[in-house]
Amino acid sequence: MPAKKTRNAPKPSLRRMPRYLRCLQRMAKERPEWVSCTHIAEQLDLDPTLVRKDLAMTGITGRPKTGYLLAELVEAIEHFVGWDTPEDAFLIGAGNMGAALLGFGGFQRHGLNIVTGFDIDPGKVGTKIHGKEILHIDQFVDMARRMHVEIGIIACGVASAQQVADTMVEGGIRAIWNFAPIKLQIPENVIIEYEDLSATLAVLSRKLASRRQLDAEAPVCGNDL
């Protein structure tokens, strides 16, 4: 696999990588050896030039008019995103969202294996959720250090999120996926990505509001006929 040096790939490009992978996995069922940017772009309703640029970031080089070897492209994307070696993760906050994340099998296809959940609720500690043990948060630092777990998922409420983040940093977590809608203070050498469901909801709500406004303004022109 070519060691690609592109370190600061733009976020929108990175965010499209799973879509490319899923598209290629669907295509693979029909067993084509080669795939082209144009074909991928058509499938995903994207601009072919954009697809070409995105895929080039992975370090793969296509052949003019032929495209890429499908298997090689899948491998290149997975390697680029870091999904070629499965990675263990710890989750803190075994409430509704936490339980959903613990039970979501799809992450394993994306190189992520949420091995254990942590909480402070005595009703949850010691139980299993979707087959994953729930331990007391007091065990987090020690376990994360011993198991060299470097990805932490914050699924607790806003009120305790900062404290949970501090615990993760103390445990040696290097990358935090935060589902609590609050900006957290973490050291510069720790990576953090925010998952903000309300952001998508804002886009959806606004579009619906605009559509209604347009409808209200449009002249009635016998649509019922």
Q: Binding pattern to a copy of itself, positions 85-104, x when CB under 8 A?
A: --x-------xxx-xx--xx
Are residues 113 and 87 in contact, defined by beta-carbon separation less than 8 angstroms?
yes
Q: Does 27 bind a copy of itself (CB under 8 A)?
A: no
Identify which range of 68-76, 80-88, 113-121, 134-142 contacts a copy of itself by CB under 8 A: 80-88
Q: Binding pattern to a copy of itself, positions 179-198, x when CB under 8 A?
A: --xxx-----x-x-xxxxxx
Q: Does 128 bind a copy of itself (CB under 8 A)?
A: no
Start-to-end CA distance of the chain, whole Å, equals: 62
Report the C-alpha gap between 174 and 159 in whole angstroms: 22
Strand order, beta sheet including 175-178: 128-129, 132-136, 112-119, 87-92, 151-154, 175-178, 191-194
In the list 27, 41, 44, 56, the residue contacting a copy of itself (rule: CB under 8 A) is 44
In the list 35, 144, 151, 184, the residue contacting a copy of itself (rule: CB under 8 A) is 151
Are residues 68 and 55 in contact, defined by beta-carbon separation less than 8 angstroms?
yes
Report the C-alpha gap between 37 and 48 in whole angstroms: 6
Nearer CB in complex with a copy of itself: 138/187: 187
Residue 27, judged by CB atoms within 10 A of its CB (0-12, 13-18, 19+), counts as middle
Residue numbers at the binding site for a copy of itself (CB under 8 A): 3, 7, 9, 11, 14-19, 22, 44-45, 80-83, 87, 95-97, 99-100, 103-104, 106-107, 110-112, 130, 150-151, 174-175, 177, 181-183, 189, 191, 193-211, 213-214
